[in-house]
Structure 1
C-alpha cells in the first residue's frame, strides 16, 4: 500500500486523463448504465463519465483515502447525484451482478495478480455486462525504467533496494486473453497500444516521477528522494533531450481490454 499525494497527482496526471478521455469515446453509452470505475483516483474522469449517464449512475472506488476525500470535495454528490465515491480496494470486489459496465484507466497495473481481479469483475457484472479497461502494458516506460534500475544498483542507492522486485503488472495480450477466459469473460478486443507521454520540461518529468513512482521513492528517506529523482531525470534527458518547445517525451505502452460477461 502506497501513500498517495492526491493533490500532486491531480497536477501531474494530464497524460492519464487524456488517455481516459480517449477511452470514454469507445464506450458507446446509451446513458442508462450503472457503472463502476476501478481505481478512480481524484475522480475527474469518473465525474466526466457521469455527465454521459443521464439516467444511469457511476461509483468510483479507490483504496486511497486521500484520493477519495479529494474526489468527494471536488465533485460533491449534491451537484452530481448520479456520482458516488467510496474507499475500496479493487482487489476485494464483493458485488453481485450489479453493473452494466466496469471501467478502469491507469490503475490495474499497480497489482501483479490480475486473475483474481478479473474474477471479481465477472461476479460484479450483470449478464452481458462489459468491461473497458486500460493500463500499462508490456514494455511500458521501458527506457526510463531501465535507467531507474541501473541507478538503483549504484552503491549510493543499492542498500534501499536489496529486496526490490519489479513492482508493476505490465502484461502482453496472450496472458490477458488467458486470464479473461479463466475468469469466464469473453474477450472482444485485447491490444497493446503505443503512446507518448508528454511532460513540461525537466520539472514536469520530475513531478510525474515524484507523484507516481511510489514503489521506488517510498523506499528512500524523504530527504534523499529529490536527489534520486534528479539523477534519473538527468540521465533520461541525456538520451532523450527536450524538444524545441521544452517538452519531454516518454514512450509508453498501454494494454487496452474490452470483454463481455457472456453467459
Structure 2
C-alpha cells in the first residue's frame, strides 16, 4: 500500500473511530505497514501483525517508530495467542480479512484480543465488482514463460459473499456490540509508479519468483489485468466497513 493510498483510508478510520494518545492498538494484517506508520502517530503503542515475513520486513523499512512492535503470526490463530488476550484498546483490520479463508475465526480472535469495551475497525471487500476479477487475475496470471514459477499455485482471495446485515449478524453472534456496519464504494486512482508499488502487495505468487524476475512479471500481470501499462489505473473497491465494541 502506497503512503498516499494509506492516508486516504486513515481519514476513514479517523472519522469513525476515536483514536487516543493512550491507546494500545493492534493492526491485524499490517502488510507493508503504511497504515501502521500513520496509526502510530495517533496512539501510544502499536503491534503490527502479519503472516508474511516479507511484509513485516518491508513494514520495518517504512517505519522504525519506537512505539511499533512488529510481530509475525496467523490472524486465524489469534485467539490462541494468550499474550494478546484482552490486551488492546483498539484493533484495526484494514483490507486484511478477505485474504483469510476462515475470516470468521479471525474475527473471533480480534474480539478476544480487545479489552472490555475496546473498539475495532474492520473492512473487507464484497464479491460484487471488478475488484474481485482484478484480484483473481493478479493472483493467478500466468503465460508460457511463467509456468515454471506458477505451477500448482492457487490464488487466495475471499471477499464476503453476503449482505451488510449478514455481516452485522455475524459480528453480533461473536459478541460484538454497538455495531455500525455500512457498505462503502471507494475509488482509488493510481498512477503508473503507484500501481507498480501497490498491486504487488496483493500478489502472493511473487514469493515464487526470483528477485531478478519479479519486476518483469509484475509488468506483464498489470498489462494483462488492465490492458495497458501507461497512464493511470482506477480501482473500484466495494467494501463492508464496520466499527464495533467488545
Q: 1:181 to 1:250 in 2, by over 3 A?
A: same
Quick check: 2:97–2:124 contact (8 Å CA) kept in 1? yes
Quick check: 1:17–1:45 contact (8 Å CA) kept in 2? yes
Q: 1:86 to 1:227 in 2, by over 3 A?
A: closer
SS in 1 for 2:76: coil
Deviation at 1:105, TM superposition (A): 1.3
Select between 97-106 and 162-171 the one with higher mean Cα deviation. 162-171
2:202 paired with 1:212: yes
Rg bigger for which structure?
1
Q: Aligned ranges for residues 237-256 of structure 1 at < 5 Å?
A: 237=227, 246-256=231-241
Counterparts of 1:229 and 1:250, CA distance in 2: 17
Aligned residue pair count: 238
Partner of 1:177: 168
CA RMSD in angstroms, aligned pairs only: 3.5
Q: Aligned ranges for residues 25-104 of structure 1 at < 5 Å?
A: 25-53=15-43, 56-77=44-65, 80=66, 82-93=67-78, 94=81, 95-104=84-93
2:243 paired with 1:258: yes
Deviation at 1:248, TM superposition (A): 1.9
Partner of 2:226: 236
Residue ranges of structure 2 left out of the alignment (5+ in a row): none
2:122 paired with 1:137: no
TM-score (norm. length: structure 2): 0.76
Quick check: 2:96–2:124 contact (8 Å CA) kept in 1? yes
Q: 1:57 to 1:174 in 2, by over 3 A?
A: same
TM-score (norm. length: structure 1): 0.72
Counterparts of 1:29 and 1:150, CA distance in 2: 38
